[in-house]
């Protein structure tokens, strides 16, 4: 049941003794109010493995998808009480600045992607709004982490440096990707495509660009022209980054569905036949599917040199073609078999480096490491 209590503006710190610590309570926080991502996958496995635990969710919505939930709006009194009493906290990004972890609580930070672009303290010239305040709040949050999940060795090395974190890291793969290796994947995919309105027999393109460190979404891809040229046999799922999802223009195009507010992108990975992205960490997750990837990189030099910078040579190692124009995107979509052949070796190297732990058991490994023996306290 969702408890829609009012927000509490101006709170700077959770009181140290709000309530007794509840040894059975696990508070899940995904994107500050969503039932999704790594926290969701961990919760699903916990329901199977540890039915003795009580799940509490931070949800900025009705919580209809959460099985038998106890959920609270972010910032509500009930939410603050849960923060002060939960034995476990599972989050995929930093907590609100007022949060102070209580002694006895295990804070499991899952994070939310293998990084191509520089993150956190590795960003040389952060330009996003409130960056100084964000980094200071982020520093305080990192100091409270007990365990950090890493999807691979590469990410572990980046996280140590970028987060300035010297605590415990467990390399498990990403729990949110377990579903991509499920034995029931075909049945699930059919149901999802029907739910998303993808026409029978159409090629579904998931267009999921990252954000440009500003506060609004900018559609540089000429979707109107692209879909007109592709025709009825193609269908586009447009997925803006969480930071700018609310700013996607309301203009509609034929055979395009805005799924920016769809709760969990893992479902979109299953439904899509091809990923069109740029520098988003979506590429590392989607690679688990083995389906082709295209990269619309109209601002490659600017993003690489001025906005974020990269952790590896993307132009050399990308598992698909880098396409600077809408016309190039159209051409690649028309020749996906050629893309597969041309980038087979690069794709294989990419998955070997970044996806070697994505075997459908990442959630189980997290639970073995964190929940089986009462955490690390």
Per-residue pLDDT of the chain (377 residues; tens, 9 = 90+): 333 333 333 444 444 445 789 999 999 999 989 999 999 999 999 999 999 999 999 998 755 567 656 888 888 998 999 999 999 999 999 999 889 999 999 999 999 999 999 999 998 877 665 667 878 889 999 999 999 999 999 999 999 999 999 999 999 999 999 999 988 888 899 999 999 999 999 999 999 999 887 667 778 899 999 999 999 999 999 998 877 777 787 777 889 999 998 989 999 999 999 999 999 999 999 999 999 999 999 999 999 998 889 999 999 999 999 999 999 999 999 999 999 999 999 999 999 999 999 999 999 999 999 998 655 44
Q: What is the pLDDT of residue 4?
A: 33
Rounded Cα–Cα distance for residues 182 and 267 (Å):
12
Domain with CATH 3.40.50.11820 in the chain: 2-178+360-370
Q: Name the fold adopted by 183-354.
A: Rossmann fold (3.40.50)
Helix (H, G, I), strand (E, B) or coil at 334: helix
Residue with tokens 């409130």: 130
For strands 147-150 and 168-171, give the pairing.
Answer: parallel
Q: What is the DSSP secondary structure assignment for residue 303, as one 8-state letter?
A: I
Overall fold of domain 2-178+360-370:
Rossmann fold (3.40.50)
Which pTM does this prediction carry?
0.89
CB 285 within 8 A of CB 351: no
Which segments within 186-252 are labelled E, that is strand? 203-207, 234-238
Residues 6+ apart with CB under 8 A from 345: none
Residues of the chain with CATH 3.40.50.12580: 183-354
Helical pair 326-334 and 223-230, crossing angle rounded to 10 deg: 30
pLDDT at residue 218, rounded to an integer:
78
Burial grade of 35 (CB within 10 A; 0-12, 13-18, 19 or more)? buried
The per-residue pLDDT for 212 is: 81
The C-alpha atoms of residue 109 and residue 240 are separated, in whole angstroms, by: 24
């Amino acid at each position: 049941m969702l408890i829609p209590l009012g927000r509490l503006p101006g709170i700077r710190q959770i009181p140290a003794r709000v309530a007794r610590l509840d040894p059975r309570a696990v508070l899940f926080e995904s994107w500050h109010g969503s039932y999704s991502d790594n926290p969701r996958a961990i919760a699903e496995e916990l329901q199977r493995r540890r039915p003795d635990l009580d799940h509490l969710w931070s949800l900025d919505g009705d919580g209809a998808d959460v099985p038998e939930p106890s959920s609270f709006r972010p910032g509500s009194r009930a939410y603050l009480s849960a923060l002060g009493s939960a034995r476990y906290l599972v989050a995929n990004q930093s907590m609100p600045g007022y949060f102070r972890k209580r002694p006895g609580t295990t804070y499991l930070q899952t994070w939310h992607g293998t990084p191509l672009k520089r993150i956190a303290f590795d960003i040389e010239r952060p330009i996003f709004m409130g960056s100084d305040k964000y980094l200071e709040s982020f520093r305080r949050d990192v100091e409270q982490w007990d365990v950090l999940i890493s999807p691979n060795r590469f990410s572990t090395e980046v996280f140590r440096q970028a987060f300035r974190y010297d605590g415990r890291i467990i390399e498990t793969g990403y729990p949110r990707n377990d579903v991509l290796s499920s034995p029931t994947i075909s049945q699930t995919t059919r149901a999802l495509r029907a739910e998303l309105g993808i026409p029978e027999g159409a090629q579904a393109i998931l267009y999921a660009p990252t954000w440009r460190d500003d506060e609004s979404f900018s559609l540089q891809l000429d979707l109107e022209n692209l879909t007109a040229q592709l025709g009825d046999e193609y269908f586009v799922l447009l997925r803006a980054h969480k930071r700018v999802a609310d700013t996607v223009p309301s203009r509609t195009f034929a055979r395009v569905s805005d799924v920016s507010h769809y709760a969990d992108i893992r479902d979109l990975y299953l439904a899509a036949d091809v990923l069109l992205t740029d520098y988003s960490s979506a590429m590392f997750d989607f690679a688990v599917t083995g389906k082709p990837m295209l990269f619309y990189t109209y601002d490659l030099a600017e993003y690489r040199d001025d906005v974020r910078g990269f952790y590896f040579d993307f132009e050399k190692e990308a598992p698909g073609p880098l396409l600077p124009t809408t016309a190039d995107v159209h051409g690649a979509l028309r020749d996906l078999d050629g893309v597969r052949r041309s980038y087979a070796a690069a794709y294989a190297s990419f998955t070997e480096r970044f996806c070697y732990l994505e075997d459908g058991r990442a959630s189980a490994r997290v639970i073995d490491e964190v929940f089986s023996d009462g955490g690390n306290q």
